Homo-oligomer: A and B are copies of this chain.
Amino acid sequence: MTRPLSVAIAGLGTVGGGVLMMLRDNADIIAARAGRPIAVTAVSARDRNKDRGVPTAGLRWYDDPVALAADPAVDVVVELIGGSEGVALALAEATFAAGKALVTANKALLAVHGAALAASAEERGVALAFEAAVAGGIPVIKALREGLAGNHVSAVAGILNGTCNYILTQMRERGREFAEVLADAQKLGYAEADPSFDIDGIDAAHKLAILAALAFGRPVAFDQVHVEGIRRISAVDIAFANELGYRIKLLGIARQTEAGIEARVHPCMVPQTVPIARVDGVFNAVVAEGDFVGRVMLQGRGAGAGPTASAIVADLIDIARNRFTPVWGASASELSTAPSVPMSSHVGPYYMRLMVVDRPGVIADVTAVLRDLGISLESMLQRGRSPGEAVPVVLVTHETKESAMREAVERIGRLPTVMEEPTLIRIETE
C-alpha cells in the first residue's frame, strides 16, 4: 500500500468534526477504496480546547489557516472556513501556489472566484474538488461532471436550499405564515439567526452558478444569476397554488435557450405531479436534462455534518486514487463562451396575486392593464367576499415575457384599488 494521503483541515466546526469522525469511524473501507489510508495530520481552528467528539491530540495545530498550505507534510487542504473573500480565498490561493490539492465546501468562494481559482489549479495541475459545495452528500457534482459528461445538457434545476424548502413545506402542511415558520425554524436550528443568506436566495444562487458552469461547460458566472427569495410568499399563495394543482418551491434553474443561458433562483409554482414537487422538508434535489440521457434526478440530504463529510471524503478518495477531473469539466481553454441572457427576456406563464378593494370595476381596471401590454390570461380566481375591504385576486397568464410582466406589476401596483405590491410567482411546467 502506498503511503497515507496527508490531509490538513481548516475549520473544525460541525462539518470539520464530521470529516474527522468519518475518517476515523470508516477508516477501513476508506483505505480500501482510496487504495491507501487517508490521515488528517494538521488542523486550524479558533478554539483548541472545544470538545468535538473526536480526539484531536497528535495533530499539528496552526493558528493561521493559511499556514496549513505551507506545511511540507500536507498533501491536500480541506477548506471549511466559508465566505468568498478573506481567509478562505487566501488559503485557496496559498494551497495552489504550494502545488497542493484543495477540497472545499465553500459555494460562495467557487461562485465568485471559481474561474480564477480554476485557472490557478489548472496551471499547477492540481485538483480543486467541491462535491460538498452543492446539495450536501448527494453526488451531483460527480454526476454532472463525469456521469453525464457525454451529454449536451439543456437544463439543470434544483431545490438547493434546505432552509427554504423546510419553511415552504411547513407553510403548506400547517397553513402558517412565513414569519411564524421562520421563527420556529430558527429555534430548531434549521435557519440562522441572520437568515438572509438562505431566505433571500443567495445561497441557492451560489450553488446554481456552480451547477450551471458544470452543466454547460462554461466559466462560473454568479453575477449573471437572477436572485429572488421567499420572503414575499404568503400562506394565501400556498393555498392558491394547491387549488391550481401546484406546489411552491424555491428553485434554481439554468437553461439553454436560443438566445443564451438563463440562470435564475426564485419561488416557482411546479405541478404537484412532477417528482421535484414531492421533495419536501430539508431535502435537496437536482434534475438535469441531457440530450442522450434524458432527465435524471438525484435527491437526498443537502446539509448537515454527515452528508457534507460524505462528500468531502469522496473528494479525498478521488485525490488519493489520482482520479483527476478539470474544475469545470474541461480545461479553461475548452470551455464554452455561450452568452447569458437577462431575466427580462425570460418567457413563461405567471401567477400574479393582488390584494384589491372588493368593489365593482376593480377587475376591469386590472385586466385593462394586461390587455394594453398584450398579456393574455389563462384563469382568474377570487377568494371570499368582503365589500369595501381587501380580498386576494389571482391571475394566471399564458406564456408572457418577463419585461411585460414587470411593467404590468408596476402599473397594477399603482391602481388606487390595489392595496399592496402584487406578488409574482413564475410557473414552471417543464
Chain A interface residues toward B at CB < 8 A: 18, 22-23, 25-26, 29-35, 131, 136-139, 142-143, 146-152, 217, 275, 278-279, 290-301, 304, 306-307, 309-311, 313-314, 316-318, 321-326, 329-331, 334-335
Contact = CB atoms under 8 A, between A and B. Distances in A.
B137 A293 contact: yes
Instruction: State the 9 A-B residue pairs at the shortest beta-carbon distance, nearest first.
Output: A139-B147, A150-B313, A137-B293, A32-B330, A32-B334, A296-B300, A293-B310, A292-B306, A323-B323
Contacts of A307: 292-294
Contact of A146 (B26, B299, B314, B335): B314
Contacts of A32: 217, 329-331, 334-335
A22 B299 CA distance: 27
Contacts of A151: 26, 29, 310
Contacts of A324: 321-323
Given A147-B314, A148-B310, A150-B26, A298 B297 contact: yes
Given A298-B298, A299-B297, A323-B325, A137 B292 contact: yes
A410 to B, nearest CB: 40
Number of copies of this chain in the oligomer? 2
A299 B323 contact: no
B146 A318 contact: yes
13 contacts: A22-B150, A26-B291, A30-B149, A31-B334, A32-B335, A33-B150, A139-B146, A139-B147, A143-B298, A146-B317, A293-B301, A294-B307, A322-B322
Contacts of A139: 142-143, 146-148, 296
A274 to B, nearest CB: 10
Given A143-B147, A146-B323, A147-B139, A330 B217 contact: no
Nearest to A279: B275
B329 A33 contact: yes
A322 B138 CA distance: 24
A389 to B, nearest CB: 39
A292 B149 contact: no
A330 B34 CA distance: 8
A322 B322 CA distance: 9
A137 to B, nearest CB: 4
Contacts of A31: 334
Given A22-B292, A137-B290, A137-B294, A310 B150 contact: yes
A292 B309 contact: yes
A30 to B, nearest CB: 5
Contacts of A310: 148, 150-151, 290, 292-293
Nearest to A135: B296
